[in-house]
Amino acid sequence: MTRAPARMMRNKPVRARAKPSPCGGGRRLTVRSPGNRRIVSVACLRAALLLGVWLVSASVTFAQTGSSPSRPSPGKSASPTPASATVRTFLGAQYLEAVPWATRQGLKVAWLERGRRLQLFNETTRIVIEADRREVDINGLRIFLGEPIVESGGKLWLGTIDAATLLGAIVRPASIPGPAPALRVICIDAGHGGNDTGTQNRRLKLDEKAMTLDVAQRVRRSLEAKGYRVVMTRSDDRFIELEDRAAFANRSKADLFVSIHFNAFPQPGVTGTETYILTRRGQRSTGGARREPSDQVGLPGHRADPWNAVLGHAIHRHLVGRLKTEDRGLKFARFKVLTLLNCPGVLVESGYLSNEAEARRIATPAYRAEIAAGIVAGIESYAAQLRRPAR
């Protein structure tokens, strides 16, 4: 179980005694600790406490935006932590206590296993969090976190960035600061193309580039029938650099970006669907084993962090629900097609061409139509969240 180091949980014992203050009008406090002696006035203690409160608030904002509280970074959406929240540092990241956070979201709480597994719920949402795990369950769906859940003092703690721009956004999208994004122009990106075949199933003669283009065309036709303007990074078999795909979406003033892919794995038994959104600034990607200096770099795509979460959750929920595939989770990565976007974006891995049974389903037009329908249903669910009044 991930626990806070002992130095975070206990302070060394101290002895205190009051003495007349040389400044008059009060008494001063002498605090003795092993090998040290400090004399501080009560007024100074009060000032220090006030300064400490401000510094905690400033450090939370800095950790999430990379800037001072009054100046949000252009590469990161502001996601302030409520002033009343208790913030602590574990594992090199800042955390909030889970129960008070849930209460602020309008969620009730119930221990499933005291000190380890906690359920947060209301009439429509059920979240299960567990100590040491870097994923949570939201209504039966796997949602990966940037930071593992931590247990300390019999309480569970959430990473502040996860709480603000992932879980909070999914639970209460109407509470995301600022106006909701528009949704008129949608960019659909068929992965790979030209001399880049993507993954292949040679036995069935399947190329990822052909499967992605087929699904993308189906998504385009469905969205256009619903009144959206749809642009495509490619509509035929051609190679396009990853950076150029994001640049095309930005030039087209896209309000939403969906990149369509299929997966492969050396072990042919692996199956399922996974959806990716951009890793938040200051956090590891889902596959990251350790923190890297590059994790702190702000990217254009970070401006849409909360709405990326809403979009990714909606599309992943509808894909898994419609296809009845194994749920491999909503995950994070710094894919180039996502890092440079000026709008919310996702990358979907619809299934595994390396698995014989799943590849045979993908080879059928009917199954590819279901994939397209799941993506479109997810976009419509996201659009419905944009229309909800702010709370």
Q: For position 168, which CATH number holds?
A: 3.30.457.10
**389 vs 241: which has the higher pLDDT:** 241
Mean pLDDT of 256-280: 97
Give the pair of three-digit tokens for residue 62: 């800095």
191 falls within a domain: yes
Counted domains in the chain: 3
270: its two tokens: 């692996």
- Same-domain pairing of 340 and 253: yes
Location of structure tokens 């256009």: 224
CB atoms inside a 10 Å sphere around CB 322: 16
Residue 43 lies inside a defined structural domain of this protein: yes
Same domain assignment for residues 166 and 41: no
Of the pLDDT bands very low, low, confident and very high (cuts 50, 70, 90), residue 388 is: confident
Say if residue 303's pLDDT is above 80.
yes
31 lies in the same domain as 124: no
- Contact yes or no for 90/2 (Cβ under 8 A): yes
Please report which confidence band the pLDDT of residue 391 belongs to, taking 50, 70 and 90 as the band edges. Answer: low
With respect to residue 71, please indicate whether it lies within any of the assigned structural domains: no
- Give dist(CA 237, CA 214) in Å, integer: 11
Question: In this structure, how many other beta carbons lie within 10 angstroms of the beta carbon of residue 70?
Answer: 7
Query: In this structure, are 238 and 350 located in the same domain?
Result: yes
| H helix or E strand, kind and range, residue 90 | strand 87-90
- Bridge partners (DSSP) listed for residue 230: 186
Say whether pLDDT at 273 is over 80.
yes
Average pLDDT over residues 266-293: 95
Q: In which domain, by residue range, is 113 found?
A: 87-175
**How much helix, strand and coil, in percent to the nearest 5, is found in the chain?**
35, 25, 35
pLDDT band for 3, please (50, 70, 90 cuts): very low
- Tell me: do 332 and 261 sit in the same domain: yes
Give the Cα-Cα-Cα angle 15, 16, 19 (nearest 5 degrees). 150
Span 331-338, average pLDDT? 97
Residue 52 confidence class, pLDDT cut points 50, 70, 90: very low
Q: What does pLDDT average to over the chain?
A: 84
- What average pLDDT score do residues 21-38 get? 35
| Within-domain flag for 81 | no
For residue 349, the cross-strand partners are: 261, 274
* Domain CATH code at residue 335: 3.40.630.40
> Do 294 and 204 share a structural domain?
yes
Q: Is the pLDDT of residue 259 over 50?
A: yes
Query: Are 196 and 329 contained in the same domain?
Result: yes
- Whether residue 74 lies inside any domain: the answer is no
pLDDT of residue 82: 61
What is the per-residue pLDDT across 35-50, written as a single tens digit (0 to 9) for each?
A: 333 333 434 434 343 4
Is 50 exceeded by the pLDDT of residue 320? yes
Domain boundary among 175, 195, 215: 175
Find the range with the poorest average confidence among 27-36, 178-187, 362-371. 27-36
Of 88-92, 118-122, 161-165, 385-389, least confident by mean pLDDT is 385-389
Regarding predicted confidence, which is higher, 289 or 375? 375
The verdict on residue 138 lying in a domain is: yes
Is 180 a member of any domain?
no
pLDDT greater at residue 35 or residue 386: 386
Q: CA 276 to CA 257: how far, in whole Å?
A: 12
Angle between helices 365-386 and 305-323 (to 10 degrees): 140
- Measure the CA–CA gap between 311 and 61, rounded to whole angstroms: 24
155 & 214 share domain: no
Residues 136 and 114 in one domain: yes
The answer on 190 and 221 residing in a single domain is: yes
Q: What gap in Å lies between CA 5 and CA 13, rounded to an integer?
A: 17
* Distance between CA atoms of residues 315 and 377, nearest Å: 7
Q: Is 72 within the bounds of a domain?
A: no
Do 282 and 357 lie in one domain? The reply is yes
Q: Rounded to whole angstroms, what are the CA distances from 82 to 79, 86, 175? A: 9, 9, 13
Burial of 135 (0-12, 13-18, 19+ CB in 10 A): middle
- Domain-terminating residue out of 175, 210, 244: 175
Q: Does one domain contain both 130 and 240?
A: no
